[in-house]
Amino acid sequence: MDRLTLKRSGQVLAPSVFTLGNMACGFYALLAAYRGEFSAAATAIILGMAFDALDGRVARLVHGDSSFGIEFDSLSDFMTFGVAPAYMMYAFILKDYGAWGYPMAFLFALCGALRLARFNAVAHGVGGSKTHFTGLPIPGAAGFLASFVLLYQIIEEGRPARTWTLLMAQIPSLYGLAPVMVVGTAFLMVSTIPYPAFKQSGVVRPRSAWRLLGVVAAVAVAFTYPQTAAFVVFFAYALLGPVGWLVRLARRSLRGTPDQPHGQPGAAP
């Protein structure tokens, strides 16, 4: 095996290590949910998001993009963000709905698979927009459900936590809306509603003092209220697509002009 082949193998292997970490988190989340350890399952799903974010960045850094990496990443994402959240929500809440619990949980996993299949088709085809995703990304849907479980477990277990009292008062009510959250995020994943990708350098690297101050404030809030901040961020992002779509629809109706396109389907799962 020559040096060029070894170098290319290393480039492909480097991001795959993080993809493997993502899959390991998903598998652990399944085991934890089976044992009834829902906080551990939710934490593993969110940790899988960190691995998922790193594998793409490492692949671009070492020029290790490959068809193998795309497929392996999608399989890992399906386990961690499709199957694991679906089973976690079934074991945590949906089983109480009798015969309806299984189809609701399966719908989430199915829509996650369809979301990833669409991403693969775009990735192998014309590519996608760098500013928008088409439909709610599957990590965002999984993160929303996982952050809800983490927040609710604080109430159920009576554990002290630094949280926003006003929001915590509403969490028990959200428990009854679990089917709506599961089915709603499932349909958002396979929708054509555009979601911002936040990949612009101005977002990632704030270039003004006000933006930098905003980032520092956000980090401080997240550190002080971790469970609450995670839920608010994922919930807000999930709503961002439908709200933006309704605003554009209202503007189009008022102006009588067609909505502006948002480019090709987003190149993210």
Q: Higher model confidence: residue 164 or residue 89?
A: 89
pLDDT average, residue stretch 260-269? 52
For residue 157, pLDDT over 70 is answered with no
CB 102 within 8 A of CB 89: no
| Structure confidence by residue, pLDDT tens digits, 11-66 | 566 778 889 999 999 999 999 999 999 999 999 999 999 999 887 777 667 665 66
Whether the pLDDT of residue 4 is over 50: the answer is no
Beta bridge partners of 194: 134
- Pair 85, 145: CB distance under 8 Å: yes
pLDDT of residue 7: 46
Percent share of the chain, pLDDT over 70: 67
Architecture of the domain whose range is 3-255: Up-down Bundle (1.20)
Residue whose C-alpha is closest to residue 189's, from 242, 148, 257: 242
**Is residue 10 over pLDDT 70?**
no
The structure tokens listed for 166 are 């006003």
C-alpha–C-alpha distance, residues 22 and 40, integer Å? 15
Query: What gap in Å lies between CA 29 and CA 21, rounded to an integer?
Result: 12
Residue 196 tokens read as: 């911002």
- Nearest in space to 135 (alpha carbons), one of 192, 209, 60, 215: 192
pLDDT in tens, 85-126: 999 999 999 999 999 999 999 999 999 999 999 888 876 666
Between 137 and 133, the higher pLDDT residue? 137
Residue closest to 175 by CA, chosen among 142, 140, 146, 148: 148
Q: What pTM, to 2 d.p., does this model score?
A: 0.81
Q: Is the pLDDT of residue 264 over 50?
A: no
Domain boundaries defined on the chain: 3-255
